[in-house]
Amino acid sequence: MSRQALRQRRAAMRKPNLPSGNRPEARSLFHYASPIMSPANTARNLASLKLAGVAVLVGAAAGAGAILFWFVVAEIQGLLYAAGPTNLHSAAAGLPWWQLLLVPAVGGLAIGQFVHRYMIERRPQGVADVIEAAALRGGHLSPRNGLAAALVSAASIGCGASVGREGPIVHLGATLGSWLARRLRIPQGQVRRLIGCGVAAGIAASFNAPIAGAVFAIEVVIGKYTLHSFAPVAISTVIGTSVSRLYYGSEPALSIPEHAATSLAQIPVYALLGILSAGVAIAFLRSVELSQDLFERLRCPARFRPALAGIGVGALAIVVPQVLGVGYETTSLALDELLSLELLLAILLAKLIASGLCLGGGFGGGVFSPSLFLGAMVGGAFGVIFESIYPEASAGYSAYTIVGMGAVAGAVLGAPLSTTLIVFEMTGDYALTLAVMLATITSSILVNDVWGRTFFRWQLERRGIELSFGQAEQLAGQLRMAELMSRDVALVALSATRDEIAEALGKGAPVYVVDDKGRFAGMIGWEGLWGAGSDATAADIAEQVAVLSVDDDLVRAITLSGLERATAFPVVPPGDEGGVAGFVTVKKIMNAYQGVLDRVVREERSFGD
């Protein structure tokens, strides 16, 4: 074989002679990049960039909203008590008794009238409403109601109500996130992320704690972690913190003094403090519940309840002025170890009563600050007692004060992780953070076992909302038969003849029988009419069937459909009003539930993208 033939043979072995349609073509970099640059991926990337941009706006708006909220509170306190945001208690101690009594009472009267006239549901709103909106309303929060709620809370704190400022700031931030999402036409499934952005930025701006703000939004409001949900929340948190620091500086909301080192040998001590903190948290939750029950038993109109609560707070403030307002001044004194055991215990008891009255009586405001306050008092008292018994083993009572703050607040809010992170970002003390984590987890477990829910879940349960049922069941529970029923029915009297019934059936609408008082007495179909004698009346032919009320929800309708062999159910007015309002078919009930399931799936898919 010649050299030329050998080369051709080897070439043929290296490169098979493929048909022209199967020959591989040279592939450029654009060929491999084409899946990344596909229209679907490009649209998804642009949507992510848009969401990140909106997260920046939400963070800036929430940070600015927090600053404005604090400013309004300070102005009201200065007007009513001649006090600044950090010296309310010391200023109140020098005021005449009648002023301490009248300011919260008159302020409560004005707040009650405002809420009754301008708030959509005629009650203050807070974090529980944000959780409800995120879980059941696709993140929708009314901007008008949100601004009104912020004003109510600012006025409540300004006139001395024993409530917190963080809850209102969370609600305001979430409202801003919801409003921006609608204005910029963000997809429905992503609105929850943006209200989470507002929540995170509000917490971060309040405590100068960006990590804790992001975790709080995931832990309490959004309820699940994905990378796509966390990214915009983190962006908003950073922006909200930056806006707050530009105005207030980088110092935390509470200055933490120097304290002794915490050793692992003190773990049992901090666990004991967690148990005591759980008792205080339960007492706090119970005081709010008892206060609400008391006002309801008194049959006091809701618009006058804040005034009565204000009288109670004012009477307490005459003796213990530390119950007024947010309480950061007294908390700082406890951290600096400047309060005696007797005063710590007296303030603890008075604050429990005052906070219960205010939160149960209709003042606007949150529970974060009262929880921190109560935790500081119980932690400080524990530290004084322990230091007097075992001075050589004590870490200094300021350390126990910090641990108590985290343990009570984490248990009340149901947010042990974010509360621990707040303490860590405020102290920078890793060893103390371990102690806070232990006490907070201990307290949270005990409160959950005894009380069974967090403060926010309890608020929702009082309104008939049980989030543990799942989103689909909750949405189905909000859909009433009045929205699904058809009103095209034919009614006949008990004395109606066979011919009259046949005429009514011929119109194609369901035929229902009513008695002399117009109350439902049964239904008649063609089968029943055919089997009846010529002289039969509606009273003889009517068939008793299960009915639904116009107030029954979709869950009740689905349950009844599974128990009864029927194709439709008559829908009657509530109570003893009588009559037949309409009817609803089983097919429409099932279609409505399928629509609920489709909505949940769409939101979950959009949320995870």
H or E segment to which residue 569 belongs? strand 568-572
Residue 14 has pLDDT above 60, yes or no: no
**What tokens does 544 get?**
């008793």
Torsion angle defined by CA atoms of residues 232, 233, 239 and 241, in that order, rounded to the nearest 10 degrees = -170
Residues 47-72, mean pLDDT to the nearest whole number? 89
Q: Are 373 and 323 in contact (CB under 8 A)?
A: no
Residues in the chain: 609
Residues 216-228, mean pLDDT to the nearest whole number? 75
* pLDDT tens digits, one per residue of 537-546: 777 777 777 8
pLDDT score at 304: 93
Q: What gap in Å lies between CA 561 and CA 539, rounded to an integer?
A: 26
H or E segment to which residue 511 belongs? strand 511-514
Range with the poorest average pLDDT among 8-12, 98-102, 204-208, 265-269: 8-12
Q: pLDDT class for 210, splitting at 50, 70, 90?
A: confident
Strand, helix or coil at 306?
Answer: helix
Range with the poorest average pLDDT among 18-32, 311-325, 479-493: 18-32
Query: In DSSP terms, which residues pair with 232 in a beta bridge?
Result: none
**519 or 458: which leads in pLDDT:** 458
Q: Are 58 and 198 in contact (CB under 8 A)?
A: yes
Of 28-42, 345-359, 473-487, give the range with the top mean pLDDT.
345-359
pLDDT score at 24: 46
Residues 271-278, mean pLDDT to the nearest whole number? 95
In this structure, how many other beta carbons lie within 10 angstroms of the beta carbon of residue 372? Answer: 29
H or E segment to which residue 512 belongs? strand 511-514
Q: Classify residue 412 by burial, with Cβ atoms within 10 Å: 0-12, 13-18, 19+.
A: buried
pLDDT score at 319: 94
In a 13 Å sphere around the CA of 573, the CA atoms on its Cβ side amount to 9
Contacts 24+ apart (CB under 8 A), 38-43: none
* pLDDT tens digits, one per residue of 400-438: 999 999 999 999 988 888 888 888 887 777 778 888 899
What are the backbone angles phi and psi of residue 379, rounded to the nearest 5°?
-65, -40
**Sign of the CA dihedral running 406, 412, 414, 415:** negative
**Sign of the CA dihedral running 525, 526, 527, 531:** positive
Residues 332-354, mean pLDDT to the nearest whole number? 93
* pLDDT tens digits, one per residue of 380-390: 999 999 888 88
pLDDT score at 496: 79
Range with the poorest average pLDDT among 23-27, 538-542, 567-571: 23-27
H or E segment to which residue 65 belongs? helix 39-81
**What tokens does 574 get?**
């509530």
Q: What gap in Å lies between CA 183 and CA 591, rounded to an integer?
A: 31
Q: What gap in Å lies between CA 12 and CA 513, rounded to an integer?
A: 92
Q: Are 95 and 206 in contact (CB under 8 A)?
A: no
Residue 340 has pLDDT above 80, yes or no: yes
Q: pLDDT class for 30, splitting at 50, 70, 90?
A: very low
Rounded to two decimals, what is the model's pTM?
Answer: 0.76
In this structure, how many other beta carbons lie within 10 angstroms of the beta carbon of residue 374? Answer: 28
Q: What gap in Å lies between CA 350 and CA 323, rounded to an integer?
A: 7
Residues 364-373, mean pLDDT to the nearest whole number? 92
pLDDT score at 482: 82
- Complete DSSP assignment for 107-162: HHHHHHHHHHHHSTTSS---HHHHHHHHHHSTT---HHHHHHHHHHHHHHHHTT-S
Residue 57 has pLDDT above 90, yes or no: yes
Q: What gap in Å lies between CA 162 and CA 154, rounded to an integer?
A: 12
Residue 26 has pLDDT above 50, yes or no: no
Q: pLDDT class for 32, splitting at 50, 70, 90?
A: very low
What is the residue-averaged pLDDT of the chain?
82
In the chain, % of residues over pLDDT 70: 82
Residue 578 gets which letter from DSSP? -
Of 17-21, 318-322, 457-461, 576-580, give the range with the top mean pLDDT.
318-322
Report the DSSP pairing between strands 582-585 and 568-572: antiparallel
Q: Classify residue 33 by burial, with Cβ atoms within 10 Å: 0-12, 13-18, 19+.
A: exposed
Annotate 221-239 with three-state secondary structure: HHCCCCHHHHHHHHHHHHH
What is each CA distance from 422 to 36, 402, 406, 410, 425, in whole angstroms? Answer: 40, 11, 8, 10, 5
Q: Classify residue 609 by burial, with Cβ atoms within 10 Å: 0-12, 13-18, 19+.
A: middle
Q: What gap in Å lies between CA 137 and CA 426, rounded to an integer?
A: 35
Residue 22 gets which letter from DSSP? G
Reference 357, options 313, 296, 420; nearest CA is 313
Report the DSSP pairing between strands 490-493 and 511-514: parallel
Residue 193 has pLDDT above 70, yes or no: yes
Residues 59-75, mean pLDDT to the nearest whole number? 93
**391 or 247: which leads in pLDDT:** 247
Q: Are 223 and 442 in contact (CB under 8 A)?
A: no
Q: What gap in Å lies between CA 164 and CA 91, rounded to an integer?
A: 19
CB contact set of 38 (below 8 Å; sequence gap of 6+): none
Strand, helix or coil at 70?
Answer: helix
**What tokens does 472 get?**
């689909």
Range with the poorest average pLDDT among 107-111, 184-188, 374-378: 184-188
pLDDT score at 439: 94
* pLDDT tens digits, one per residue of 439-479: 999 999 999 899 888 888 888 888 877 765 555 666 666 67
* pLDDT tens digits, one per residue of 69-124: 999 999 999 999 988 777 888 899 889 999 999 999 999 999 999 999 988 888 88
Residue 19 has pLDDT above 60, yes or no: no
Range with the poorest average pLDDT among 275-279, 577-581, 586-590: 577-581
Q: Sketch out the chain's domains with CATH numbers.
A: 41-248 (1.10.3080.10), 264-468 (1.10.3080.10), 476-596 (3.10.580.10)
Q: Are 474 and 574 in contact (CB under 8 A)?
A: no
Q: pLDDT class for 25, splitting at 50, 70, 90?
A: very low
